[in-house]
């Protein structure tokens, strides 16, 4: 058995011994969006710290726990707080929670994040459906392949599942919520980018920039977990305005956008649940 799977089995056994719940949809909540989980019909909560061998997040504003419950009739597991590569974890740690949620039974993964707007047509407060990504951080699949999860050289031609994207697109349209669509680029962070780096990533075809998500999406695809992702454009990226960027600003815009984002996520999850 691969070392990765051995560790996952340990985490899974820990989960199983405490929680009797099989989720269908897994959600990862980005900066400012964590309290979405507080509004759902909660069945159980599991602190990351109570799972043996689980990586613990250190970023302010990120709670570290799984919340199990219902959005409408859909059984969900929500990661309230994710693990970031810039915290110093190995990529294997960063994607462990996503793999674990797959083992818990999740069939669909909805990733959210706060991101900087690279596309000049975007505005702070916009939402962007992720059509594809550019992963500039190391692949989470480097090292021994977890054969139990997926193949050594997995296809990445439909990372953000076409059908799921259509569901989210239609949901936004029906709710009257405007939704941009574009390519997300993951850099390692934790520093924000320089103006030259933002010009570079725009040239490369990115519409939004952030420090998460792509690695999780790669691991999910590897494991056969259908994925969809939405960014909240919390700020325009460096160099577009001459105002220095702060985490407080990112958090503040994400907080302001949160009620509308919650609406979009809630209805999207309900409809994604019907697609199971």
250 binds ligand HPA (CB under 6 A): yes
Give me Rg for the CA atoms of the chain. 17
- Of 116, 136, 150, the C-alpha closest to 254 is 116
Active-site choice (79, 106, 114, 220):
114
Q: How many CB atoms lie within 10 A of CB 35?
A: 13
**By CB neighbour count within 10 A (0-12 exposed, 13-18 middle, 19+ buried), where does 238 fall?**
buried
Residue 213, SS3 per DSSP: coil
Residue 69 or 210 having the CB closest to ligand HPA: 210
Using rule CB under 6 A, residue 232 touches ligand HPA: no
Catalytic residue among 26, 37, 57, 62: 62
Note if 181 is an active site residue.
Answer: no
CA distances from 37 to 94, 99, 128, 162, 251 (A): 21, 20, 21, 26, 17
Piece of the chain touching ligand HPA by CB under 6 A; list 69-77, 108-116, 119-127, 147-155 = 108-116
User: Bridge partners of 133?
Assistant: 184
Asked if residue 210 binds ligand HPA (CB under 6 A), the reply is yes
Would you count residue 217 as binding ligand HPA (CB under 6 A)?
no
Among 114, 129, 141, 206, binds ligand HPA (CB under 6 A): 114
| Stretch binding ligand HPA (CB under 6 A), from 36-44, 65-73, 87-95, 114-122 | 114-122
247 in active site: yes
Which residues are known to be catalytic? 31, 62, 84, 86-87, 114, 211-212, 235, 247
């Amino acid at each position: 058995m691969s070392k990765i799977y051995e560790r996952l089995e340990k985490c899974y056994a820990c989960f199983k011994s405490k929680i009797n719940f099989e989720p269908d949809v897994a959600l990862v909540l980005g900066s400012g969006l964590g309290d979405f989980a507080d509004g759902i019909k909660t069945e159980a909560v599991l602190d990351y710290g109570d799972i043996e061998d689980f990586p613990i997040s250190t970023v302010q504003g990120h709670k570290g726990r799984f919340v199990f419950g219902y959005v409408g009739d859909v059984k969900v597991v929500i990661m309230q707080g994710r693990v970031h590569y810039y915290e110093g974890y190995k990529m294997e740690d960063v994607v462990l929670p996503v793999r674990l949620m797959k083992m818990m039974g999740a069939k669909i993964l909805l990733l959210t994040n706060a991101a900087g707007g690279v596309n000049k047509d975007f505005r702070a407060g916009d939402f962007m459906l992720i059509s594809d990504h550019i992963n500039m951080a190391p692949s989470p699949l480097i090292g021994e392949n977890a054969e139990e999860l997926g193949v050594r050289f997995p296809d990445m031609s439909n990372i953000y599942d076409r059908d799921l994207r259509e569901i989210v697109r239609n949901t936004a349209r029906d709710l009257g919520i405007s939704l941009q669509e574009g390519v997300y680029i993951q850099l390692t962070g934790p520093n924000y980018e320089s103006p030259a780096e933002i010009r570079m990533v725009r040239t490369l075809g990115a519409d939004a920039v952030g420090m998460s998500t792509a690695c999780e999406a790669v691991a999910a695809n590897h494991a056969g977990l259908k994925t969809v992702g939405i960014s909240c454009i919390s700020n325009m990226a460096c160099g577009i305005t001459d105002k220095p960027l702060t985490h407080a600003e990112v958090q503040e815009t994400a907080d302001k956008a949160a009620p509308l984002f919650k609406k979009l996520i809630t209805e999207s999850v309900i409809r994604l649940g019907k697609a199971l």
